[in-house]
């Protein structure tokens, strides 16, 4: 399939000549047989090279190949992997079957980080891993996705913990020629370069490709001769540098990303931006439209129709915002070329209360379809951006949610995959979103599941000991201290894992609030507990690093030594061992700061039971019997919530979790039953196949269809929508609700549509003056609140026009329950509508009375 790619000059014997094809396609990262095949070549080097198959192939000596081709087992293994790869490339996919008419369009997916595998370190945490998992499922499902990102010379950073518990960050420089990536060549066989204007100069970018199953991701690299040292360093480090570096990186990603697609003539129809970092794609695409002679306001509509925006940050401070002079400077090229549009351009990102250009505002203004990453986060985002959309209810704000998931084949332990496969139909991986299939796991004997689980726990403990030994050795601890690690951690003991970025809101040290109580749990002679921590703090995040120090300090206390451990250099490899090998996955963020969280989803697939604050995905995933919740009164102040969360953690451990684990001797049947419930209820839902299908059905395809409609007949629809909006903005101030009458006398009895009970009704009339706006281009609605068992709900009733009066005034009527006696209980509003809008509140104009 990929024979046209110029794989590095690897001379492999004929019998295994297609190994480079596997090494250069990240498909290997979710195929356990392929991974094992590479490991067989040389296990030590495989680990030493951080599981990078390309470097392994490059540095393997001819004698080794010679021996391997005479190893029949190895050749059979190789043949199996090649067969699987060929089958994968040729199978009919979900997308081909579901959307045959759209297979020739591409969806661009832009992200500042991608976590595919530990061997390609261009991710920092959950956002990147999500992007990687998104691309993998897109390939599995046949979705024509093209990923766009940056190629960081120093990656994120390698973390070391010193003898004082301080995080040391090592920035290694990667040799791109030995990573599983390839340069993209132009028609003349030279490396493809693109150029992005930045401030007063042009930055050149080399284009690399990462093959991800059926799809390709492109990565941009500024470390090119001819660029100034400062520019070369722009793709130096992920999230490194100050705001200048940040805005420049985002320009390279957003504008450069579009230029790559053009250079390669990729027929891109939809642009999905994973967080606001890539929002500058809109600026570049508006510019393209202007170059083609399209007016600015029409260009914006075209870009809106074809953009999808996923927001991931539930706190305003987490959104990138740049001072206006900085934007002015970095876009001076653009603004000098298009002086007359500068103001309109700036307005797309302007914050309302501060002179800042906000990337999330830019994204919201230039993407018609937007979503948060869990049900709760959707709600939080709607509240956060409510003012953005006029005076409307939270539920009406046009930001939806698509809950995150994880890529099953990447995160499920191969040993468990094999076990599940014995009890589910052969096609279960392809149909993993079918909840019914997972019921068959009831049939797995508890012994078998427990046996595999214990095996994975032992594997984790071996890795943890090696990790600790390396820390101690490097920190010059005495030999007995280094050797002591052999005895640390016990696979029979209830093991709790906590691993994620050490951002302060994640409160890694919460469980240390009462060390004596923790001591009683950990050191219970009959029912002990052990705790594993891992995670990186951003090098500029000092409170995060303090948290690491505190964990380290506690881990060194006599009473916790060897029972609470801090592992270093959390990456996708360590993450895999942890989410597959502990018993309980602890997550206690400050609610609602965890937009979704995904590590708990990885744990769930593997029968590791979640114990988490009801935040992010767990708010919807937890059903009372598939894990445990950490509770607090969500309306209380932070300190109270923290106290209540802490109490909840200790109490549930003491009263529920520890007793359940230890209640039946060697095989805890009830524990295993809960593991099964967790797998069966969570795995079919919180995977990226479900997530990417949701994106396709609810955003990519609608966006694609609307874009095609907008562009048809020489931009006819785009122009109509743009002109209509322009007209509405200019004339909306004429629209006035003149009076509202509440005819208490005109009552009747009817069934309430909502509560199904009979109630008295009354008529409400409203008189609205429209001025030049045509009344049919608006909707007049009556809004009131109704009390239901779960609280107050907004009810919106469309008002019917009954009479056209003079002076462009129209009378409306609606019928509502009469117990709303006073006008204060309801309001009437008018807002513009169009069948060509993507959502009801696309224009943030709402007039109320």
**Contacting ligand PLP (CB under 6 A), which of 41, 54, 572, 815?**
572
The minimum distance between CB 823 and ligand PLP, in angstroms, equals 48
Comparison of 179 and 740: residue with beta carbon closer to ligand PLP: 179
Give the nearer residue to ligand PLP in terms of CB position, either 457 or 501: 501
Question: Where do runs of H (alpha helix) occur along 527-631?
Answer: 542-556, 572-581, 599-605, 616-621
Quote the Cα angle for 597-598-600, to 5°. Answer: 95
Which of 417/473 has CB closer to ligand PLP?
Answer: 417
Provide the minimum distance between the beta carbon of 104 and ligand PLP in the complex, in angstroms, as a whole number: 34
Name the residue nearer to ligand PLP (CB basis): 611 or 715. 611
Cis geometry, peptide bond prior to residue 592 (ω within 30 degrees of 0) = yes
In whole angstroms, what is the distance from residue 394 CA to residue 673 CA? Answer: 40
Neighbours of 429 (CB within 10 A): 17
Residue closer to ligand PLP by CB (options 412, 572) is: 572
From 43-51, 150-158, 545-553, 564-572, give the range in contact with ligand PLP by CB under 6 A: 564-572
Tell me whether residue 576 or residue 762 sits nearer to ligand PLP (CB atom).
576
Helix H, strand E, coil C: the string for 150-176 is: ECCCCCCCEEEECCCCCEEEECCCCCH
The distance of closest approach from Cβ of residue 417 to ligand PLP in the complex, given in angstroms and rounded to an integer, is: 18
Residue among 450, 261, 84 nearest 271 (CA): 261
Q: Are 677 and 610 in contact (CB under 8 A)?
A: no
The least distance separating ligand PLP from the CB of residue 571, rounded to whole angstroms, comes to 5
Q: Which helix (H) or strand (E) holds 801?
A: strand 800-805
> Per CB under 6 A, which of residues 78..137 are in contact with ligand PLP?
125-126, 129
Q: Which is nearer to ligand PLP, 143 or 575 (CB)?
A: 575
Closest CA relative to residue 530, chosen from 481, 572, 488? 488
Site stretch for ligand PLP (CB under 6 A), options 323-331, 568-576, 744-752, 818-826: 568-576
Nearest distance from residue 126's CB to ligand PLP, in Å? 3
Print burial letters for 760-797: b (CB count within 10 Å at least 16), e (below 16). Answer: ebbbbbbbbbbeebebeebebbbbbebeeeeeeeebeb
Pick out residues in 590-609 that bind ligand PLP (CB under 6 A): 597-599, 602
CB 95 within 8 A of CB 144: yes
DSSP E strand boundaries for 286-368 = 307-310, 321-323, 356-358
- Stretch 127-186 residues interacting with ligand PLP (CB under 6 A): 129
Q: How far is the CB of 846 from ligand PLP (least distance, A)?
A: 37
| CA–CA dist 672, 449 (Å, integer) | 7
| End-to-end CA gap in the chain | 64
- Of 142 and 405, which CB lies nearer to ligand PLP in the complex structure? 405
Specify the residue, 368 or 567, whose C-beta has the smaller distance to ligand PLP: 567
Query: Helix 32-41 crosses helix 414-423 at what angle (to 10 degrees)?
Result: 140
- HSE-CB at 685 with a 13 A cutoff on CA atoms is 15
Structure tokens at 247: 């805005």
b/e for 597-615, b at 16 or more Cβ within 10 A?
bbbbbbbbbbbbbbbbbbb
Least distance CB 510 / ligand PLP (angstroms): 14
CB of 598 to ligand PLP, least distance (A): 4
Report how many residues bind ligand PLP under the rule CB under 6 A.
13
Nearest approach in angstroms of CB 575 to ligand PLP is: 3
CB of 203 to ligand PLP, least distance (A): 30
Quick one: 167 or 268, whose CB is closer to ligand PLP? 167
Strand duo 158-161 + 167-170: pairing: antiparallel
Select the span of 97-105, 237-245, 565-573, 650-658 touching ligand PLP (CB under 6 A): 565-573
Question: Smallest distance, Å, CB 592 to ligand PLP?
Answer: 14
Least CB distance from residue 554 to ligand PLP, whole Å? 20
Closest separation between CB of residue 298 and ligand PLP, Å? 41
Compute the least distance from the CB of residue 692 to ligand PLP, in Å.
17
**DSSP H or E run through 566:** strand 564-567
Give me the least distance between CB of 469 and ligand PLP, in Å please.
Answer: 21
| Residue owning tokens 């979790």 | 657
Map the footprint of ligand PLP across residues 624-683, applying CB under 6 A.
Answer: none
> Cβ neighbours of residue 424 under 8 Å, at least 6 residues apart?
437, 438, 440, 441
> Smaller CB distance to ligand PLP: residue 453 or 602?
602
Q: Which residue, 577 or 700, has its beta carbon nearer to ligand PLP?
A: 577
Name residues contacting ligand PLP, limited to 490-509 (CB under 6 A).
500-501
List strands edge to edge, sheet with 564-567: 564-567, 529-534, 494-499, 584-587, 609-613, 628-630
CA 61 to the chain's CA centroid: 41
> What is the phi/psi pair of residue 202, to 5°?
-110, 130
- The answer to whether the beta carbons of residues 364 and 370 sit under 8 Å apart is yes
Shortest distance (Å) from residue 534 CB to ligand PLP: 9
DSSP E strands in 176-223: the ranges are 182-183, 193-198, 201-212, 215-221
Task: Decide: is 570 part of the binding site for ligand PLP (CB under 6 A).
Answer: yes
Stretch that binds ligand PLP, among 153-161, 431-439, 569-577, 803-811 (CB under 6 A): 569-577
Q: Which of 140, 571, 583, 694 binds ligand PLP (CB under 6 A)?
A: 571
Q: How far is the CB of 565 from ligand PLP (least distance, A)?
A: 18
Selected range binding ligand PLP among 2-10, 216-224, 566-574, 638-646, rule: CB under 6 A: 566-574
Closer of 126 and 621 to ligand PLP (Cβ): 126
Query: Smallest distance, Å, CB 544 to ligand PLP?
Result: 13
Nearer to ligand PLP, 602 or 725 (CB): 602
| Closer residue to ligand PLP, CB minimum distance, 373 or 397 | 373
Task: Extract the runs of DSSP E, i.e. beta strands, from 721-790.
Answer: 736-751, 758-769, 778-788
The Cα 615–Cα 315 span in angstroms is 14
Q: Helices in 91-141 by DSSP H: which ranges? A: 94-98, 126-141
DSSP alpha helix (H) spans, 598-657: 599-605, 616-621, 638-652
> d(Cα 577, Cα 522) in Å, to the nearest integer?
22
From residue 265 to residue 304, what is the string marking binding to ligand PLP with x (rule CB under 6 A)?
A: ----------------------------------------
Restricting to residues 779-798, name those near ligand PLP by CB under 6 A: none
Q: Cβ(408)–Cβ(687) under 8 Å?
A: yes
Rank residues 125 and 256 by Cβ distance to ligand PLP and give the closer one.
Answer: 125
Task: Specify the 3-state DSSP secondary structure of 832.
Answer: strand
Q: d(Cα 210, Cα 217) in Å, to the nearest integer?
A: 5
Of 135 and 327, CB closest to ligand PLP: 135
Nearer to ligand PLP, 396 or 571 (CB): 571
Site for ligand PLP, rule CB under 6 A? 125-126, 129, 500-501, 570-572, 575, 597-599, 602
């Amino acid at each position: 399939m990929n024979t046209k790619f110029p794989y590095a000059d690897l001379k492999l014997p004929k019998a295994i000549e297609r190994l480079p094809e596997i090494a250069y396609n990240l498909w290997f990262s979710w195929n356990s047989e392929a991974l094992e095949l590479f490991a067989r070549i040389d296990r030590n080097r495989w680990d030493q090279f951080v599981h990078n198959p390309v470097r392994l192939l490059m540095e393997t000596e001819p004698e080794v190949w010679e021996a391997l081709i005479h190893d029949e087992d190895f050749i059979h293994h190789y043949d199996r992997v090649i067969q699987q790869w060929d089958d994968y490339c040729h199978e009919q996919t979900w997308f081909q079957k579901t959307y045959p008419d759209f297979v020739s369009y591409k969806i661009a997916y832009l992200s500042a980080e991608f976590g595919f595998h530990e061997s390609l370190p261009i991710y920092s945490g959950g956002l990147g891993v999500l992007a990687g998992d998104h691309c993998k499922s897109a390939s599995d499902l046949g979705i024509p996705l093209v990923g766009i990102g940056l190629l960081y010379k120093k990656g994120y950073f390698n973390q070391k913990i010193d003898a004082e518990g301080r995080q040391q960050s090592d920035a290694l420089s990667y040799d791109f020629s030995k990573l599983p990536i390839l340069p993209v060549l132009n028609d003349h066989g030279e490396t493809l370069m693109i150029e992005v204007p930045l401030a007063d100069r042009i930055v050149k970018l080399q284009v690399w490709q990462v093959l991800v199953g059926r799809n390709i991701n492109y990565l941009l690299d500024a470390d090119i001769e001819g660029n100034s040292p400062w520019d070369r360093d722009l793709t130096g480090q992920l999230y490194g540098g100050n705001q200048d570096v940040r805005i420049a990186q985002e320009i390279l990603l957003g504008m450069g990303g579009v230029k790559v697609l053009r250079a390669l003539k990729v027929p891109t129809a939809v642009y999905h931006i994973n967080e606001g970092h890539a929002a500058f794609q809109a600026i570049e695409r508006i510019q393209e439209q202007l170059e083609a002679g399209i007016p600015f306001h029409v260009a914006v509509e075209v870009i809106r129709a074809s953009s999808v925006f996923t927001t991931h940050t539930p706190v305003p401070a987490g959104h990138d915002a740049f001072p206006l002079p900085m934007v002015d400077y970095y876009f001076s090229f653009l603004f000098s070329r298009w002086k007359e549009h500068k103001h309109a351009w700036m307005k797309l990102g302007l914050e309302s209360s501060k002179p800042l250009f906000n990337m999330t505002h830019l994204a919201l203004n230039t993407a018609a379809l937007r979503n948060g990453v869990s049900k709760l986060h959707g709600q939080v985002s709607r509240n956060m951006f409510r003012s953005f959309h006029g005076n409307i209810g939270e539920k009406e704000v046009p930001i939806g949610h698509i809950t995150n998931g994880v890529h099953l084949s990447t995160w499920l332990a191969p040993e468990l995959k094999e076990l599940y496969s014995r009890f589910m139909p052969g096609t279960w991986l392809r149909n993993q979103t079918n909840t019914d299939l997972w019921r068959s796991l009831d049939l797995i004997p508890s012994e078998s599941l427990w046996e595999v689980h214990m095996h994975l726990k032992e594997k984790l403990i071996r890795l943890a000991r090696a990790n600790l030994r390396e820390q101690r050795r490097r920190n010059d601890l005495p030999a007995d201290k280094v050797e002591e690690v052999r005895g640390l951690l016990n696979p029979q003991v209830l093991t709790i894992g906590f691993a994620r970025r050490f951002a302060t809101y994640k409160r890694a040290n919460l469980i240390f609030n009462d060390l004596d109580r923790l001591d009683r749990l950990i050191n219970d002679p009959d029912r002990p507990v052990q705790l594993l921590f891992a995670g990186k703090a951003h090098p500029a995040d000092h409170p995060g690093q303090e948290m690491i120090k505190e964990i380290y300090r506690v881990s060194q206390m006599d009473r916790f030594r060897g029972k609470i451990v801090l592992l270093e250099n959390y990456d996708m490899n360590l993450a895999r061992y942890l989410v597959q090998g502990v018993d309980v996955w602890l997550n206690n963020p400050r609610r609602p700061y965890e937009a979704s969280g995904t590590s708990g989803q990885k744990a769930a697939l593997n029968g590791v039971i979640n114990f988490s604050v009801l935040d992010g995905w767990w708010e919807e995933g937890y059903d009372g019997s598939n894990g445990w919740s950490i509770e607090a009164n969500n309306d209380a102040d932070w300190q109270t919530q923290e106290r209540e969360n802490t109490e909840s953690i200790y109490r549930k451990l003491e009263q529920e979790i520890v007793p359940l684990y230890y209640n039946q001797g060697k095989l805890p049947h009830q524990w295993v039953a809960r593991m099964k419930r967790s797998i069966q209820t969570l795995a079919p839902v919180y995977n990226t196949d479900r997530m990417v299908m949701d994106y396709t059905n609810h955003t990519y395809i609608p966006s694609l269809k609307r874009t095609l409609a907008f562009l048809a007949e020489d931009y006819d629809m785009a122009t109509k929508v743009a002109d209509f909006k322009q007209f509405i903005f200019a004339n909306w101030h004429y629209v006035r609700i003149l009076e509202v009458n509440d005819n208490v006398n005109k009552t009747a009895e009817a069934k309430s549509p909502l509560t199904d009970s009979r109630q008295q009704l009354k008529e409400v009339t409203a008189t609205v003056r429209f001025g030049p706006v045509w009344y049919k281009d608006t909707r007049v609605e009556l809004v009131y609140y109704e009390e239901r068992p779960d609280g107050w709900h907004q009810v919106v009733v469309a008002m019917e026009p009954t009479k056209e009066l003079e002076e462009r005034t129209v009378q409306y009527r609606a019928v509502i329950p009469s117990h709303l006696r006073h006008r204060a209980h309801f309001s009437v509003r008018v807002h513009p509508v169009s069948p060509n809008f993507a959502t009801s509140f696309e224009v943030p104009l709402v007039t109320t009375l």
